[in-house]
Amino acid sequence: MRPFRAAPGLDGPAGILQGGLATAVPTAAARLADPFGAPLTSVVARLHAPTPLGADLTIALRPGGGVAHHEVQLRHGDTLLVSASVELAGRDQPPAIPDLVELATGPIPELVLHPTYPDCFVCGPGNTHPHAQRCAMGHVNDEAVVLPWLVDDALAEPGPTIDPILVSAVLDCPGVWAATPALTAAGFAGCLLGGMEVRWYRDAPVYEVLRVAARFDELTGRKIRVRTALLDEEGQVYAVASALHIAVNEVPRLS
């Protein structure tokens, strides 16, 4: 059992740890505990409850059901916030994702900053954290978003390559904005991340313009499914995520 505290400024909705960051917190714990130092392969996370910022939390880790797997839980007292399976076994070959590659290698539409989550670490125009990304979204159509992304070495690992936790974070929000037209048409105010799988295929470089492409797949009841990828301008794939979001009538705030 390890103590953990999510610092202020890492919001998704106000006062709540951004969903992609919450997904990737277990990867940091697994990497610290792993004795072999193998590259991060994937995380499959379920978000059971919002993770509060500034609270005293705990992380529990145990061996998973297979070689190079770790099972991780993030808790606030007795409340389970995140459960995840992390694989540290090296990199696989990237999948065929022609629709996301087409988005990433096409023209960038006009970029728009959205106010729905103003404090979000990734896409919020009002976040004042020194490393806030403030990503603006380019809407290709009512189901797809693409945006350029450039990271400096302040958020790098040795290499220098982009910290995979930050990669997970930036793969979250564009999927929300790809789904927003469908959410709005269905009468919802927004959505919260319910589960996310991220797979890393290459270390993403700093100081190189990359692209994030996201596509909305379906809305069934309150369940929204989206896919997102981090690529370069030639279509080389660095990471891919699939996510389940839950539609809400009101976006919660914990601060």
The enclosing domain of 131 has a CATH number of 2.40.160.210
pLDDT higher than threshold 70 for residue 255: no
- Cα–Cα distance between 173 and 132 in angstroms, integer? 13
Tell whether 170 is covered by a domain. yes
Per-residue model confidence as pLDDT tens digits over 130-173: 999 999 999 999 999 999 999 998 888 878 999 999 999 999 99
- Cα–Cα distance between 11 and 52 in angstroms, integer? 9
Structurally, the chain folds into a number of domains equal to 1
- Is pTM beyond 0.85? Reply is yes
Tell whether 190 is covered by a domain. yes
- Cα–Cα distance between 42 and 156 in angstroms, integer? 19
Tell whether 212 is covered by a domain. yes
Which pLDDT value is given to residue 251?
A: 85
Residues 105-131 have a mean pLDDT of 94
List Cα–Cα distances, 207 to 92, 158, 185, in angstroms.
24, 14, 38
Tell whether 101 is covered by a domain. yes
Tell whether 255 is covered by a domain. no
Per-residue model confidence as pLDDT tens digits over 7-63: 999 999 999 999 999 999 999 999 998 888 889 999 999 999 999 999 999 999 999
Give the structural domain span for 15.
2-248
